[in-house]
Amino acid sequence: MSKPDGLRNQKKAETRQAISNVATRLFVERGFENVSVAEVAREAGVARKTVFNYFLRKEDLIFDREEEVRTLVRDAIVNRGSQSPVHAFQALMRTLAVTGHPIFHMSARPIQFWRTVVESPALTTYARELQVTLANDLGEMLADAVHRPHADPDARLAAAMLVSALVVAYGDALRAFREQQDPEAAFISVMERGFVGVNATVVGTPYA
Amino acid sequence: MSKPDGLRNQKKAETRQAISNVATRLFVERGFENVSVAEVAREAGVARKTVFNYFLRKEDLIFDREEEVRTLVRDAIVNRGSQSPVHAFQALMRTLAVTGHPIFHMSARPIQFWRTVVESPALTTYARELQVTLANDLGEMLADAVHRPHADPDARLAAAMLVSALVVAYGDALRAFREQQDPEAAFISVMERGFVGVNATVVGTPYA
DNA sequence: TAGAAACTTACACTCAGTGTAACTTTTTAG
DNA sequence: CTAAAAAGTTACACTGAGTGTAAGTTTCTA
pLDDT at site A60:
97
Query: Which residues of chain B have a CB within 8 Å of the CB of A132?
Result: 128
Would you call A156 an interface residue with chain B, using a CB distance cutoff of 8 Å? yes
Q: Which of B5-14, B20-29, B138-147 has the lowest mean pLDDT?
A: B5-14
pLDDT at site B3:
44
SS3 string, B63-131, reads CCCHHHHHHHHHHHHHCCCCCCHHHHHHHHHHHHHHHCCHHHCCCHHHHHHHHHHHHCHHHHHHHHHHH
* A72 Cβ neighbours under 8 A, 6+ residues apart: A92, A96, A103
Query: Which residues of chain A have a CB within 8 Å of the CB of B202?
Result: 197
Query: Which residues of chain A have a CB within 8 Å of the CB of B175?
Result: 151
Q: Which of A171-180, B101-110, B146-155 has the lowest mean pLDDT?
A: B101-110
Residue with more model confidence, B200 or A104: B200
Q: Which of A87-96, A102-111, B195-204 has the lowest mean pLDDT?
A: A102-111
Taking a C-beta distance cutoff of 8 angstroms, is the pair B145, B68 a contact?
A: no
Average pLDDT over residues A39-61: 97
Query: Which residues of chain A have a CB within 8 Å of the CB of B198?
Result: 197
Report whether pLDDT(A8) > 90.
Answer: no
Report whether pLDDT(A50) > 90.
Answer: yes
d(CA A167, CA A164) in angstroms, rounded, equals 5
- Separation of CA A14 and C1' C4 in angstroms? 24
pLDDT tens-digit map of A108-164: 667 788 889 999 999 999 999 999 999 999 999 999 999 999 999 999 999 999 999
Domains of chain A in sequence order: 7-61 (1.10.10.60), 66-202 (1.10.357.10)
Average pLDDT over residues B6-12: 82
- Separation of CA A73 and C1' C16 in angstroms? 38
pLDDT band at A44 (very low <50, low <70, confident <90, very high): very high
pLDDT tens-digit map of B99-122: 877 766 667 667 788 889 999 999
CB contact under 8 A, B186 and A153: yes
pLDDT at site A3:
46
Q: Chain D bases under 7 Å from protein CB? A: 7-13, 15-21, 27-29
The nucleotide minimizing the C1' distance to residue B33's CA is C15
| Residue A8 approaches strand D within 7 Å at CB | yes
Touching B: A residues 180-199, CB under 8 Å: 186, 189-190, 193-194, 196-199
Element (H, E) at B189: helix B183-202
pLDDT band at A103 (very low <50, low <70, confident <90, very high): low
pLDDT band at B138 (very low <50, low <70, confident <90, very high): very high
Would you call A134 an interface residue with chain B, using a CB distance cutoff of 8 Å? no
Instruction: Reduce the DSSP state of residue A117 to 3 states and report it.
Output: helix
Which of A's residues 173-202 have CB atoms within 7 A of nucleic strand D? none
Sign of the four-CA dihedral A96, A102, A103, A109 = positive
Average pLDDT over residues A70-96: 96
Q: Which of A109-123, A191-205, B112-126, B156-170 has the lowest mean pLDDT?
A: A109-123
d(CA A179, CA A133) in angstroms, rounded, equals 31
The nucleotide minimizing the C1' distance to residue A38's CA is D16
Measured between CA atoms, the residue of chain B closest to residue A170 is B153
d(CA B183, CA B9) in angstroms, rounded, equals 41
pLDDT at site A2:
39
pLDDT band at B5 (very low <50, low <70, confident <90, very high): low
- Separation of CA B117 and C1' C12 in angstroms? 32
pLDDT at site A194:
98
pLDDT at site B165:
98
pLDDT at site B113:
87
pLDDT tens-digit map of B26-53: 999 999 999 999 999 999 999 999 999 9
pLDDT at site B1:
33
Report whether pLDDT(B23) > 90.
Answer: yes
